[in-house]
Amino acid sequence: MAYDKFEILKSTAVPLPIENVDTDQIIPARFLKATERKGFGDNLFRDWRYNPDNTLKEDFVLNNPIYKGKILIGGKNFGSGSSREHAAWAVYDYGFRCVVSSFFADIFRGNCLNIGVLPVQVSPAFLNKIFKAVEINPATEIEVNLPNQTITLLDSGENELFEINDYKKQNMLNGYDDIDYLTKMKEEIKDFEKTRPF
């Protein structure tokens, strides 16, 4: 489904300085039983966020009211593990529009781009700067500028360029997705299919 356009996002951020955050943590398997795409935000990081009796774990960052915003900052190798798009849906449904890390797992990155969450990969040094800035001042504002492909700590002006391929960038800027593209080339695909041996 087509999604909101993404141009410039200015927001505070939620820091999660853990490496190898896998999609089983982002949304545990037992919450994948829905047949519609709704309500996944409630179970984002379910087992890190709630005790078994459904009370909130106070030491988890999503339950700390001083951290909020539309940007999630994660440690290296964010989104590893299962290909479940539900993980990206949960991130989006909770209210995040951008995830920043020094390294993303492939399928999670692709899933994010397909549903309108911008994955921004920064250098390990810049990631550390962001974690430090947010730790010192949770009200730190960050600007993610997709047209310019920059991410900036607004207090200090420190910034870094990030990469995104042109096709995906245009999709995000215009709120188009791959299905829009593919359905327009169906005849070309049918001709190609005739050449396949099986």
The residues that touch other proteins, with contacts defined as CB under 8 A, are: 1, 17-20, 22, 24-25, 28-30, 32-37, 47, 52, 75-77, 80-86, 88, 103-107, 110-111, 114-115, 165-168, 177-179, 181-183, 185-186, 188-190, 192-193, 196-198
**Residue 131 neighbours by CB distance under 10 Å:** 17
Residue 69 C-beta: closest distance to other proteins, Å: 22
Q: How far is the CB of 157 from other proteins (least distance, A)?
A: 28
C-alpha distances (whole Å) from 79 to each of 23, 99, 135, 192 are: 5, 10, 22, 34
CB of 10 to other proteins, least distance (A): 27
The DSSP bridge pattern shows strands 8-11 and 142-145 to be antiparallel
Q: For other proteins, which is the closer residue by CB, 136 or 196? A: 196
Least gap, CB of 84 to other proteins (angstroms) = 7
- 80 vs 140, which CB is nearer to other proteins? 80
Q: Name residue 15's beta-bridge partners.
A: 73
Nearer to other proteins, 88 or 98 (CB): 88
- Kindly write down the DSSP assignment for every residue of 67-89, as one continuous string: --SSEEEE-SSBTBS---THHHH
Enumerate helices (H) and strands (E) in the chain, giving the number of each. 8, 8
Nearer to other proteins, 125 or 157 (CB): 125
Residue 88 or 134: which CB sits closer to other proteins? Answer: 88
Q: Do 73 and 100 contact (CB within 8 A), yes or no? A: yes
